[in-house]
Structure 1
Amino acid sequence: MLSNRRSGLLRGLVILVVIGVWLVIGAIGGQAQGSLAGVQKNDAAAFLPSNAESTQAAELAAEFTDSETLPALVVTETTDGSDLTPDQLADVKAFADAIADAPLEGTSGDEPRTVGDVSVADPVVVPSEDGQASLVVVSLDASVASEQVGAEEDRISQLAVDALRALAAAPVTDGGLAAHGLETWVTGPAGFVVDLVNAFGAIDTVLLLVALGAVLLILALVYRSPSLPFIVIFTAVFALSLAGLVVYNLAANDVLVLNGQSQGILSILVVGASVDYALLLVARYREELRKASSTYTAMRRALRASIEPIAASAGTVVVGLLCLLLSDLASNASLGPVAAIGIAASFLSALTLLPALLLIGGRRARWVFWPRVPHASGKHSEPQAAAGAEVTAVIEDDNHVDVDGHGIWSRVAGVVGRHDRVVWIVTAVVLAAGAAFVPTLDANGTGDAEVFLAQVDSVDGEEALGRHFDGISAQPVIVVAPEGDADAVVEAAEGTDGVSAATVVTDEPSTVPGRPAQGDPLVVDGQVRVDVTTDVPSESQEAVEVVADVRTAVHGVSPEAVVGGAAAERLDTQLAGERDLRTIVPVVLVVILLILMLLLRSVLSAVLLMAANVLSFGFALGVAALMFNHVFDFPGADPAVPLYAFCFLVALGVDYSIFLMTRVREESLKVGTRPGVLRGLAVTGSVITSAGVVLAATFAALGVIPLLFLAQLAFVVAFGVLVDTFVVRSLLVPALVHDVGDRVWWPSKLARGVRPERPEPAEAGVHAE
C-alpha cells in the first residue's frame, strides 16, 4: 500500500512538472508568437539566390546611386473625370509641401519623426498630360524604410505610407486633399509592400481565431464533452507557443528567413497537426480505459500503441518539408524548417502535455470524457462504442468478412470486404480522371496587383497611374552593361515589343521615375545603367513577359549585360519556382517511400500507399485547376502553389494511411491480413475521419487572408485532405490491400502468412492504481 502511495505521488509530481514546464513555454512563447511579424522579411528580392541575374543587376545598379530609394507614388484624379482646376492643382502642391512634416505615428526619441526624416529628396508634383490627374513622387530611403521603430516595432515604410494616406484624407485646410472632388491613392513599391504587410497582419488574430473556432466546433461534435475539446485546443495552443518561440529566435538571429505566408502556414499546420495527434491518442486511450481500471495503465498502453504511428506521421511530414531546403528560393527553403519546427512542437505537445492534462485527477481522471465516460468492467459502458472501440471480425472465407462493430465504419468495412476489387478500381479511375486536368493549371505566376483578392489602395492607384501617365514606371527594368555597349543596349531594348523608352542614367538623375534626365552618362567601373520603361505596369505579369524578351534582345548585343528590376526579380522567382518543382517533388517521393518501407516493413505496401497518395494529389490539383479557371476565375497561380500543395498533401495524406496501416498490421499479426484490414478500417474510421475534417478546416481558414496564393493553397490542401480522408484512406487503400491480401507485406514473413504466436491477453481490470 505504501509503495502504491509513493508511486502515485511520483506520478502526480511528474504530471505537475510537465504541466509547469509547458506553462512556462506558453508564457514566453506566447509573447514570441505575437512578435513574429517583427522578424518577417517580405521583400521578394531578399529571397532570390545570389546567382540570379536580377540579384547581380541589383548589386551593380546600387553603385549608380548614393542611396537606394523606395518610391511612394501619390496619384490624384478628379472624381467626375474632368480636368484639374487651378485650385485643385494648388491643393495638390500644398499637399506635397506638407508631406515633409507629416508625423510618423508611434515614434519617439532619436527615431525618425516625420516623412521628411526618411525621404532622400523633396516631393515632386507631376501633372498628367490629359490634365485630369496629378502625381506626387515621394522618394523614401530604402535602407531606412526597412528599420523597425516604436513600441509596436512597425517598419518605417509602413508608418510613412500610413502618414501619406492619413494626410491625403485630411481636409484641405490641414494640407490634405479630402475635398474639391478629388480622389487619392498611395501606390508604387512602398504602397504595395505596406498593403501586403497589412494583408498578412490578419495572421496573428483573425486567422488563428477562425482556425481554433472551427476546430473547437468539430471537436465538440466529435466528443460531445464540455471539457475534452478545450483540453485538445490547449494542447494545440501551447504547441504553437513553443513553435513561435523557436522560430522567433532563429529568425531574429538570421538563422532562417520568415515571411508572412510562412507564419500563416505555421499557425495552421501546428493547430491541425496537434489536434490530429491528439485525436489519435485520445481514441486509443479511450479504448484502453475499457480494458484497464487504472487510468495510468490505460494511458501507458495508449502511448505505447500510438507513439509509433504518430512518430512516423510527424517524421514523414518533417522530412518531406525539409526537402524544401533544396529550393533555390529562400522563401521556399525557409518554409521547410519553419513548418518542421511546428510539427515537432505538435508532436511533443501531444505526447507530453496532453497525457498530463488527461491524467489530472488520477483515479478520477475519466471525468474528462463526461458525460460519455468509458468504464473497464463493461457494466457501465456506453450503449454504443466510441471512436476507436473494439470490433470483431468473423472469417467466412478467404475474401469475405463480417465486421461487428459500431456505426457506419463497420458497414463501410463490410462493403470493402465484399467488393474490394470493384471499389479500388472505380475509385482509382475517378481519381485518374480528375488528375487528367492537371495540365490546365496555369501556374506561371501573377503580377503584384493580382496577388490581392480584396480592394487595396496600391492596386487602385496603379490603375489610375496607368490611365493618366504614359511612360512613367515606378520600377523600371534595369540594365547594367559595358560603357561601349550603351547605344546597342538602348536600341535593342527600345526595339522590344512592350517597351516605351530606354534611357541611360546620367550624372543628373531624373526625379520622376521613367522620365529622361539631363547630363552626361554616368559611368561606374566601365559600366553604364540603362532604365527601361515598359508599356504595361511594372507590377503586372505582362511586364514579366516583356523582361524575358528584353533579356533576349540585350544579351544578343551585349553578352556581359545583366537585366534586373522588380519585374526581373519576379521572373527569376518564377523560373526558380519551376526548377524547384522539378527538383523537390522526386526527392520528396523517394524520401517518404523509404520511410513507409521502414515503418511497414514492406516494399509493396509502401509503393501502393505512395501511388494512391500521388493519385489523390493529382485529383485534387486537377479539380483545383477546373475551379480556378472556370468557377473562381483566378488570373493564374504562383509556381509555389503546386509545390507547397504537393509537399503538404503527400506528407499529410500519407499520415492517414499510416494511421490506418499501422493498425492494420497490428491486427494482421493477430487474425490475418484480410480480416485485419477490415478491423483496422472499422476501428480507425471515426478518429481518422475526424482528424481529416479538422485538418481540412484549419487549412481552409487560410482563405480568410485576402491573398491569391494563400486562398489557392487553402483550397487545394483542404480539398485534397478530404479526398485522402474519405476516398483514399476509406476506400482505395483498404480495398486494394484487402484484394492483394498477405502479399501486400512482401518481402516480410507476413507475405507468406507467417505470424508470431499471440500472447495471452491480460485480464481487463486487474491493474491497480
Structure 2
Amino acid sequence: MGAATTTKRRRPRAVPWVLLGIWVAVMALAGPFAGKLGDVQKDRAVDYLPASADSTQVAEVQEQLPGGETTELVLVYHRDGGLSAADRRTAADQVAAVARQVELVATPTGVASKDGTTLMYPVASTAPGTDEEKRDAFVNDVRDIAKESDSGGAGDGLSVKVGGSGALATDAGEVYQSLDGPLLYTTVAVVAILLILIYRSPFLWLVPLVVAGIADFLSMGVAYGLNQAFGTSVTGQSSGIMTILVFGAGTDYALLIVSRYREELRRVERPYDAMAVALRSCGPAVLASSGTVAAGLFCLLAADLNSSRGMGPLGAVGVLCALVAMLTLLPALLVLLGRRVFWPIVPAFGSEPKKRRSLFASMGSSAGRRPVVVLAIGAALLAVLSLGALNLPGNLKQEDSFTSKPDSIAAMETLAAAYPERGTQPISVIVPSGEADALLDRARSVAGVDSAERGRSSERWTELSVVAKAPPQTAAETATIEALRDALDDRGAYVGGPSAEQIDLKDTNARDRMVVVPIVLAAVLLVLVALLRSLVAPLLLLLAVVAVWGASLGIGGLVFGPLFGFEGTDPGLGLLSFVFLVALGVDYGIFLMHRMREECLEGADTGTAALTALRTTGGVIASAGLVLAATFAVLTNMPLVQLVELGFVIAVGVLLDTFLVRTYLVTSASLALGRKVWWPGPLSRAPRPPAAPEPREPELARLP
C-alpha cells in the first residue's frame, strides 16, 4: 500500500519531464523542414493571383514558349542637360554587351524622349526562364554593366538605371528575403521588453519568450509540410504574419496562464497542483479564443487570391502551434523551475497579494455611472473615426510599394517624367497561333494602343508585345488593357503583364471581400454562441469589432497619405485587416464575457458581474493587447508599404479594442442591457424568488 502511494505521488513529478522530452523529439523532427520554408516562398505578383486570372494564364503560357518566361528590363540613360553623342554611343555599346552576354528575344531599339534628356532601351530575355535565382543573376549582370557609366547625377552627369518588371521583381524578392531576420529579431526584442516591464522579473520573461520561439520554429516546419502535401501558397507576407501571430497570440496565452498560475501558487502548496488548477480555470478560455482566431483565419480558404488563401492556413498554424506550446511546454517549464522563477516577487504559499488600486475598477465605475451616455459617446467616436477611410489613397501601384527607393523605382520615375505621353512597360498578350496575324491587327486597332508586335511563337500560342499610349498603371492604361481584353477575349486570348496583374489583384480582392467577410462573421458568431450560450452577447462583440475595424481604417486614411506619404493603399488591406481584427478582437471579448458569465452563474447580477470581470481581467487583457499591438507594429518598420499599412491598421485596432471597446463600450452595453445581454439563454431570465416554506400543523405532544 505504501509503495503504491509513493508511486502515485511521484508520477505527477514525472509529467513535466515527459512533456519536455516529447518537445525535444518534436523539434528534432521539425528541424529539417523548418529551414526549407524560405525555399518554397514565392513573391511574384502573379504568384499571388488565382489560376483563373488572365495574368496567371499569360505567365503559364510564357513558360511553355521557346526559352520559357520572359524577363523584361528597361535600361534608362538620362542627363539633365540633354544626352550627348558620346552618351548615346555608351548606351549602344552597353546594350550590345548585354546582347553578347545573354540571349535576347529581339534586338533592342532605343527610344529617345522628346526633350532629349533620356534614352530608354527595352531589353527582354528568356535565358533566365522561371528560375528566380537565374532571373536575379540576369538583372544583376545588366546592372553591373550599367554601373560602368552611372555617375548617379555626379561627375559627368550621366545616370544609368535598370528598371522594368524584371528589375522590380528582383528588388521585391530581395526585400521579402531580407524580412525574415529583421522581422524575427525585432519581434523578439519588442516582446522581451514588454514582458520584462509586465513581470518585473529578471528570469520569468525568458520562459514564455523561449516557448514562443520554439512554437515559431515548429510552425515553420508544419507550414513547409502543408506546402509539400497540399501545395499551400507561401509568400513573404504570409510567413511574416505567421511569425507575428506566434509571438503575439502565444504571449497573450502565456500572460493568462502565468497570471492564473501565480494566483494559484498562493493557495496551493505544490507547483504541479497549482498549475493543474490554473489550466483547468483558464484553459477553456484560451482554447475558445485560439479556436476563434483559427476559425476566422481558415475562412480565408474561401478567398480566390492565392496569397490570401495561403495566409489562412499559415496563420492558423501559427496560432495553433502557439496554443499547443503554451498549454504543454510552458506549464512544464514553469513547474520544473518552481516558485523561484518569479523572483524577486515570489508568490509564497498562504500569502496574500499586495492590495493595489485597480485602474480598471475605476474605469468600470465611471462607465457604470452613466452607461448609456458612455456607450453613445464611444459609438459616435468610432463612427467619426471611420469617416477617415474615405481619405484612403487609391490602389497602390507597383512602383509605390517600397518605403525606400531601389534602383528599379528610380528608373521608372525617370521614365514617367521623360515619357509622359506614352507607355514604357509592354503589355503581354497571348493569342492562338492560328489567328496570330488577325488578332495582331485587331490589337493594333484598339483605342489607346500605341504599337503591337509579334513575339515568340509555338505550335499552339503566340506572344504579342503591346505598348499603350498611356504611362503604366494609370487610368488610361487600365482602360486600354480592359479594351484589349474585350476585343480579344472571344478568340481565346489572354492579356497579362505587370499592369494587368495589378488590375487582376484589385478585382480578385474585391470579389474576396464579398465572399470571405460574411463567412468570417458567421463562423465567429457560431463559436461565440456556443461558448456564451447567448445571441445578444455574441452580436454585441461582433458589432464592436466591426466598428473597431472601420475606425482603424479611418485612422489609416488620416495618416497614410498626409503623414506617411504613401501614394496608394494595398488592395488586400481591407480584407486582411478585417479578418485579423475580427478574430483577434473577439479573442479579448471572450476573456471578458466568459468571466462575466461565470460571475452570473454564481449568482451575481449582470451589472456586478460586468464590473467584476473588468476588474479581474482588465490588467491581463491590457497587457495582452499591448503585446499583440506591439508585435504587429513591428511590421511598420518593414520596407514594404503593404506590410506597413497592414501592421499599422491592426496595431491601432487592437489598441482601440483593448482600451476603448472592451473597457468602456462592452462594459457599458452590458450594464445598459442587464440580463438581456444573455438572451435567449437561461441567464436572461430573472431568478425565481425562493419559495416560502409551507406552513405545517403543530405536532401533538406524544403521550408516554
Q: Could you state the TM-score of these two structures normalised by the residue count of structure 2?
A: 0.89
Shift of 1:457: 0.8
1:461 to 411, 421, 437: 411
- 2:663 aligned residue: 730
- 1:335 aligned residue: 311
Q: Which secondary structure state, in structure 1, belongs to the residue aligned with residue 74 of structure 2? A: strand
- Structure 2: runs of 5 or more not aligned: 691-704
Question: 2:344 matched to 1:371?
Answer: yes
Question: 2:514 matched to 1:582?
Answer: yes
Residue deviations 1:243-280, cap 9 Å, x none? 00111232245621101111111111111010011011
Cα distance in 2 between the residues matched to 1:493 and 1:753:
77
- 1:144 aligned residue: 129
Cα distance in 1 between the residues matched to 2:406 and 2:585:
36
1:702 to 635, 654, 664: 635
Structure 2: which amino acid aligns with 1:451? S
Inter-CA distance 482–277: structure 2 relative to 1 (3 Å threshold): same
Shift of 1:468: 4.9
Structure 1: which amino acid aligns with 2:126? D
- 1:714 aligned residue: 647
- Check the 8 A contact 1:438/1:622 in 2, yes or no: yes
- Check the 8 A contact 1:479/1:529 in 2, yes or no: yes
Inter-CA distance 659–60: structure 2 relative to 1 (3 Å threshold): same
- 2:212 aligned residue: 236
Residue deviations 1:49-98, cap 9 Å, x none? 333333445556667655331123332333x5332343x44544554455
Cα distance in 2 between the residues matched to 1:735 and 1:680:
13
Residue deviations 1:124-164, cap 9 Å, x none? 473636654454555443763425xxxxxxx2222332333
- Check the 8 A contact 1:63/1:524 in 2, yes or no: no
Question: 2:134 matched to 1:156?
Answer: yes
Q: Which secondary structure state, in structure 2, belongs to the residue aligned with residue 359 of structure 1? A: helix
- 1:533 aligned residue: 467
Cα distance in 2 between the residues matched to 1:354 and 1:264:
23
Residue deviations 1:660-697, cap 9 Å, x none? 11111112222412212111110101110000010000
- Check the 8 A contact 2:105/2:126 in 1, yes or no: no
Cα distance in 1 between the residues matched to 2:140 and 2:636:
26
Question: 2:681 matched to 1:748?
Answer: yes
Cα distance in 2 between the residues matched to 1:566 and 1:316:
37
Cα distance in 2 between the residues matched to 1:677 and 1:446:
44
- Check the 8 A contact 1:170/1:177 in 2, yes or no: no
Structure 2: which amino acid aligns with 1:144? G
Cα distance in 1 between the residues matched to 2:142 and 2:29:
36
Question: 2:427 matched to 1:476?
Answer: yes
- Check the 8 A contact 1:71/1:137 in 2, yes or no: yes
Residue deviations 1:577-619, cap 9 Å, x none? 1010011101111110111000111112111111122122222
- 2:396 aligned residue: 446
- 2:602 aligned residue: 670
- Check the 8 A contact 1:247/1:338 in 2, yes or no: yes
- Check the 8 A contact 1:668/1:676 in 2, yes or no: yes
1:635 to 553, 556, 567: 567
Q: Which secondary structure state, in structure 2, belongs to the residue aligned with residue 205 of structure 1? A: helix
- Check the 8 A contact 1:481/1:562 in 2, yes or no: no
Q: Which secondary structure state, in structure 1, belongs to the residue aligned with residue 75 of structure 2? A: strand
Structure 2: which amino acid aligns with 1:287? E
Cα distance in 2 between the residues matched to 1:494 and 1:377:
88
Shift of 1:717: 0.4
Q: CA RMSD in A?
A: 3.2
What is the aligned length?
A: 685
- Check the 8 A contact 1:93/1:125 in 2, yes or no: no
- 1:300 aligned residue: 276
2:546 to 614, 620, 639: 614
Inter-CA distance 540–337: structure 2 relative to 1 (3 Å threshold): farther
Inter-CA distance 36–540: structure 2 relative to 1 (3 Å threshold): farther
Question: 2:292 matched to 1:316?
Answer: yes
- 1:383 aligned residue: 354
Shift of 1:722: 0.4
Q: Which secondary structure state, in structure 2, belongs to the residue aligned with residue 42 of structure 1? A: coil
- Structure 1: runs of 5 or more not aligned: 102-114, 148-154, 386-405, 510-521, 758-769
Cα distance in 1 between the residues matched to 2:220 and 2:439:
53
- 2:695 aligned residue: none
Structure 2: which amino acid aligns with 1:75? V
Inter-CA distance 28–535: structure 2 relative to 1 (3 Å threshold): farther
Identity across the alignment (%):
35
Q: How does 1:524-563 map to 2 (within 5 A)?
A: 530-538=464-472, 543-552=477-486, 561-563=493-495
Shift of 1:333: 0.7
- 1:291 aligned residue: 267
- Check the 8 A contact 1:449/1:539 in 2, yes or no: no
- Check the 8 A contact 2:109/2:122 in 1, yes or no: yes
- Check the 8 A contact 2:429/2:466 in 1, yes or no: yes
Shift of 1:28: 5.8
Structure 1: which amino acid aligns with 2:601? L
Inter-CA distance 134–504: structure 2 relative to 1 (3 Å threshold): closer
Residue deviations 1:304-323, cap 9 Å, x none? 11111111111111111111
Structure 2: which amino acid aligns with 1:82? G
Q: Which secondary structure state, in structure 1, belongs to the residue aligned with residue 556 of structure 2? A: helix
Shift of 1:504: 4.3
Cα distance in 2 between the residues matched to 1:296 and 1:755:
41
Shift of 1:34: 4.5
Q: Which moves more between the two structures, 138-147 or 342-351?
A: 138-147
Cα distance in 1 between the residues matched to 2:145 and 2:440:
42
Cα distance in 2 between the residues matched to 1:55 and 1:564:
8
- 2:623 aligned residue: 690
1:357 to 325, 330, 333: 333
Q: Which secondary structure state, in structure 2, belongs to the residue aligned with residue 500 of structure 1? A: strand
Q: Which moves more between the two structures, 303-312 or 16-25?
A: 16-25
Cα distance in 2 between the residues matched to 1:559 and 1:667:
68
Q: Could you state the TM-score of these two structures normalised by the residue count of structure 1?
A: 0.82
Q: Which secondary structure state, in structure 2, belongs to the residue aligned with residue 248 of structure 1? A: helix
Cα distance in 1 between the residues matched to 2:688 and 2:9:
38
Cα distance in 2 between the residues matched to 1:307 and 1:633:
45
2:593 to 636, 652, 661: 661
Cα distance in 1 between the residues matched to 2:227 and 2:559:
36
Cα distance in 2 between the residues matched to 1:467 and 1:28:
55
Q: Which moves more between the two structures, 571-580 or 178-187?
A: 178-187
Q: Which moves more between the two structures, 654-663 or 292-301?
A: 292-301
Structure 2: which amino acid aligns with 1:750? L
Q: Which moves more between the two structures, 463-472 or 651-660?
A: 463-472
